[in-house]
Amino acid sequence: MVEAVRRQFGSGLIAALLAAAAFGTSGPFAKSLIEAGWTPTLVVFIRMVGASMALLPFAIGPLVRQWQSVRRNVPLVIAYGLLAVGLAQLGYFQAVERLPVGVALLLEFLGVVIVVLVVWFLTRVRPHRLTLLGMALAIGGLVFVLDITGAVRPDLVGVAWGLVAAFGLAGHFILAGRPNPIPSIAFACLGLGTGAVALGVLGLVQVLPMSAGSGTVTLLGAQTPAWVAFGELILIAAALAYVLAIMGARQLGSTLASFIGLTEVLFAIGFAWLLLGELPRPIQLLGGAFILAGVVAVRLGERAAFLASEGEPNVEPNAEELIERHPTPAH
């Protein structure tokens, strides 16, 4: 039994780390396409369509076998596709167009703070002191990341899109850890497909612009075919990354998986430096450290509050469970 638990933890840890690394490549490769004239909306759309199609042959069997489960969980699939996949990717890629990759991703990680605020508002339950400390650290870090007193003023449109991505990430934290019987690869395929359909409709009615750019991009200081960047975004940064992330969350639990997911920021900054020669300014890196410390404190506070109220050390809460335990008061 102990050996089985160790194997599950080990495989879950590897899956979560690989997922963080794979997700960390998306910003640099997407930015290379955006700088070559491709609109962020079209880059996201192609990424989601390609990834869902890449996963479809492997997802058909599980979808057929679990069709009744899929039907019962349609709202969950749609919500995950719109928030965790569509909104998060669109906001992040739009932010990457105007901000350094690392800064855009740090803004997205404020989604953890948004989850706390939503739960606090709905439940009227005051967060644990560690959670409050984490929120203060994250907000203080945001000031450093934006470097509002520096010589280079932040692009406010890029900041706004980064916060849109944060709301999408908040949806991921609320929805991804919810138990459901749909296999990981099928769930990822459905989520990517749902997000692609929604984005395609918005592009078709011209709410969001979609236009192609150059056939080559600049990576590692050299001209590279655009299809190489798209191939990486589709196969590694989307299809593989989402499957690994879902596997990791299910094997490790949402709390530990979210901690490991923080390494995505380090991977993204490293890949941006390697591929694009781009690094955030020192003060922004300091702010990033504050934000990451804040996210860790928030997660520790959530767990401490849960253990204090439930006394069940082997059970992890997620935001949805906390809301169900403390329904919104009647007004």
Domain boundaries, the chain: 2-127+156-214+226-279+317-325
H or E, element range at 132:
helix 129-146
- Report the predicted TM-score, pTM, of the whole model to 2 decimal places: 0.79
CA–CA dist 226, 211 (Å, integer): 14
CA–CA dist 240, 251 (Å, integer): 17
Burial 206-216 (b: 16+ CB within 10 A, else e): eebebeebeeb
Instruction: Find out whether 80 and 191 touch, Cβ atoms under 8 Å.
Output: yes
Instruction: Find out whether 315 and 141 touch, Cβ atoms under 8 Å.
Output: no
Instruction: Find out whether 165 and 95 touch, Cβ atoms under 8 Å.
Output: yes
Instruction: Find out whether 184 and 250 touch, Cβ atoms under 8 Å.
Output: yes
3-state secondary structure of 155: coil
CA–CA dist 119, 318 (Å, integer): 10
CA–CA dist 169, 265 (Å, integer): 14
CA-wise closest residue to 190 among 75, 110, 25, 38: 75
Beta-bridge partner residues of 223: 218
Tens digit of pLDDT at every position of the chain (331 positions): 545 545 555 777 888 889 989 999 999 999 999 999 999 999 999 999 998 998 899 888 888 888 888 888 888 889 889 988 889 999 999 999 998 888 888 888 888 788 778 778 877 777 788 888 888 888 888 878 776 556 567 788 999 999 999 999 888 777 765 667 777 788 888 888 999 999 999 988 888 889 999 999 999 888 999 999 999 999 999 888 878 887 887 777 666 676 777 788 888 888 988 888 887 788 888 888 888 888 788 777 777 776 776 554 444 444 444 433 333 333 5
